[in-house]
Structure 1
């Protein structure tokens, strides 16, 4: 595959392949990861502290590890077009020159520092290009393939070169949640994933063997089953797939009633409310969780392709105007969803990474803010 040269090549110092510290295949590496954690709303924010979280410290990484997680996903921004959308971000813009797609060395060094916090504490790390204003994720279209692939190549050559010396604890992920619904759009996304793989491998060194992660369409299990084929790789057995899970969305995501649906407070066949039945889940309960995860297992895991459940979560209401009438039953529903989904993911070979934006472990003093949620995650992991 030829990628248009809209930007200069950043693969300026390729190295001979180096297998030191890179012995694990994707399947072997997946077996070492028990529970994953997202450091959300931080390094992918327009400016690191813009969404209310402090900068990441090594003590925070240690706190996450202490609670029982041994992997961290770092959603990371590289190319928000802040010239248009976030001019107030000033020096936090991470691109030195948009015409050449050059990433600032200061930002590459800071990301490398945070990755080091994790690797130095024996944590596995998944580093991605996150939403970034949607330059890739909203442009999975034939007419955008050349320009988006060129940018994907330029960025990953730089990222991969900067992070090349880390051992197998570090994995790279091509994207976040690509907006893909059709075969045609999937073909474009497939091209972007192939560009990512080729760019990383071209830098050599340990990157010749690094495990790489590619995202399904919309990171949706059903769409992935219907539309996705894995890209090719020059080394066998070093790819993983990634999906996300927030189902039912009215229970997991909504914080207010909207035109297409009401918030759901009660989930699970034994947790429905008789007092406010309009707040009971009507889809996405235990049997559908089972069905979705079995689908991911048969599509990927059974074929030797590990699956990262890169984001999942549901969150408690009751601290705002939206207070369930049966608050304890609601909290029990949340606990049940977390435990059930965590357990079923692991049972089917999906590695769960909890999505956190500071609500579970305090980013400043590293204390646990929601012990029930943590206990529910661990209960699912220990089933």
Structure 2
């Protein structure tokens, strides 16, 4: 998620640094300071790997929180939590990460932070989960403009060189995703050619930097992003990077349609889909057929060409003020996960932590208890 949506879900009007902004387990699990000794890179394509990844879950608003891991209200990630995610039936965890606040003026990432990220990846792998780490919003420095391009390219390359070296020996249950929702801050419209060119360049910088570190990274499965992870912009403008490895790339998009139902806290839209009974509480677009059509675009444009797609985020906020609203949230999430999976996409639910009104959490982060077991089941069962 980008800063605007993070602020919205946190109930903040302005984000500043002070407020924050299945294939099975590894042969050996990584610790906070050392990578596994086993190579563990199987001779399978990214498309084959994606069909093992099942339903996924985001450790949202945690390692990417500006101000520190707990700055946005979530407890530190634990082995207990990852075990609970696995026990619930999820096979993949996406771990959004911020790096800039842990780096010096020369863009050298603190060893302690690399160790902490490795510790959390280790929790996931020990639980038997695939793990995806990225460069998330990270303070917003990844602006796709010519003015920012030189600085952003250099920083992105340096960060990924350090990250990739630290995780060089990890097996293929760890994936790298280059960026997140890259866009010009506040501009949700059709991107200018400048923005597209710079953002496609970020994807190439990422792939080139990772591959150059060698070892398992020479063939690691890497995830690149469409512009703002928007399906239509991806289809229209994304260019796959040149890659020295064969069949080791995935594309990432996100899905939050229709916005007034899924994320808009001020909206009175709380019903969705074929089961809706009140036209005034239902948006005029974004129903089942819309989701089918959007995911079919990704199937035709990417999956059918051997390029798997990660649906890196999707979800709906709780609207507890409306009696019966949970039925529609359940219907949307189950349908989206199933429609995506049936077309070859890997659905990864966006969990921001809190489980109350206007939030998207599924679990009690401290104990691992399922707060919404029916919702968890609907997402997991959609990929079985």
Aligned runs of 1:155-166 on 2, under 5 Å? 155-166=159-170
How large is the Cα RMSD of the aligned pairs?
Answer: 1.4
2:377 counterpart residue number: 375
Aligned to 1:287: 289
Partner of 1:77: 98
Q: Which whole-Å deviations, capped at 9, do the CAs of 1:238-261 have from their partners, x for residues lacking one?
A: 0000000011011110111xxxxx
Q: What SS does the corresponding residue of 2:139 show, helix, strand or coil?
A: helix
1:106 Cα deviation after fit: 0.3
1:178 aligns with 2:182: yes
Structure 1 position 142, deviation (Å): 2.0
| Residue number in structure 2 paired with 1:144 | 148
Q: Give the match's secondary structure for 1:284.
A: coil
CA deviations 1:295-337 (Å, max 9, x no partner) are: 011111011100000000112211xxxx22xx22x22211111
Shift of 1:20: 4.6
CA contact (8 A) 2:39 2:170 kept: no
Tell me the distance in 1 between the aligned counterparts of 2:265 and 2:221.
36
Are positions 1:187 and 2:197 aligned together?
yes
**TM-score computed with the length of structure 2 as normaliser:** 0.84
Residue 232 (structure 2) pairs with residue 222 (structure 1): yes
1:33-48 alignment runs, 5 A limit:
33-46=53-66, 47-48=68-69
- Displacement of 1:72: 0.5
Alpha-carbon contact 1:41-1:53 (below 8 Å) kept = yes
Q: CA deviation at 1:117?
A: 1.3
The offset of 1:184, in angstroms, is 2.2
For the 8 Å contact 1:74–1:128, the answer to whether it is kept is yes
1:24 aligns with 2:30: no
Aligned partner of residue 172 in structure 1, secondary structure: strand
Q: Which moved more, 1:370-379 or 1:112-121?
A: 370-379
Q: State the Cα distance separating 1:156 from its structure 2 match.
A: 0.4
**What is the count of residue pairs matched by the alignment?**
333
Write the distance in 2 (CA, Å) between the matches of 1:191 and 1:317.
40
Counterpart pick for 1:269 among 267, 274, 298: 274
C-alpha distance after superposition, 1:162-187 (max 9, x if no partner): 11111000000010101161332111
Q: Which moved more, 1:344-353 or 1:21-30?
A: 21-30
Q: Distance in 2 between matches of 1:20 and 1:103?
A: 26
Alignment match, 1:244:
254
Matched, 1:94 2:102: yes
CA-to-partner distance for each residue in 1:346-366, whole Å, 9 max, x for gaps?
A: 011010001112221111111
The Cα offsets for residues 201-221 of structure 1, whole Å up to 9 and x where unpaired, read as 111110001000001111011
Question: Is the 8 Å Cα contact of residues 22 and 206 (structure 1) preserved in structure 2?
Answer: no
Distance (whole Å) between structure 2 residues aligned to residue 141 and residue 109 of structure 1: 32
- Which residue is equivalent to 2:26? none
Any conservation in 2 of the 1:19–1:209 contact (CA below 8 Å)? Answer: no
Partner residue of 2:331?
A: 336
Specify the SS of the correspondent of 1:225.
helix
* Paired residue secondary structure (1:103): coil
* TM-score, with length taken from structure 1: 0.84
| Maintained 8 Å contact 1:338/1:380 | no
- 1:321-332 matches, cutoff 5 A: 323-324=321-322, 327-328=323-324, 330-332=325-327
User: 1:127, 1:370 → 2: CA distance?
Assistant: 25
- In the TM superposition, structure 1's runs of 4+ consecutive aligned residues that sit over 2 Å from their partners are 18-24, 378-382
SS of match in other structure, 1:120: helix
DSSP-derived class of the 2:181 partner = coil
Report if the CA contact (8 A) 1:271-1:332 is conserved: no
Matches of 2:122 and 2:276, distance apart in 1: 43
Q: 2:70 matched to 1:49?
A: yes
Provide the secondary structure at the position in 2 that maps to 1:133.
Answer: coil
2:116 is paired with a residue of what secondary structure? Answer: helix
Q: What CA distance in whole angstroms lies between the structure 2 residues aligned with 1:30 and 1:372?
A: 25
Task: Tell me, yes or no, if the aligned pair for 1:172 and 1:212 is still in contact at 8 Å.
Answer: yes
Corresponding position: 1:355 with 2:365:
no
Tell me the distance in 1 between the aligned counterparts of 2:170 and 2:373.
Answer: 33
SS in 1 for 2:251: strand
1:31 is displaced (CA, Å) by 1.6
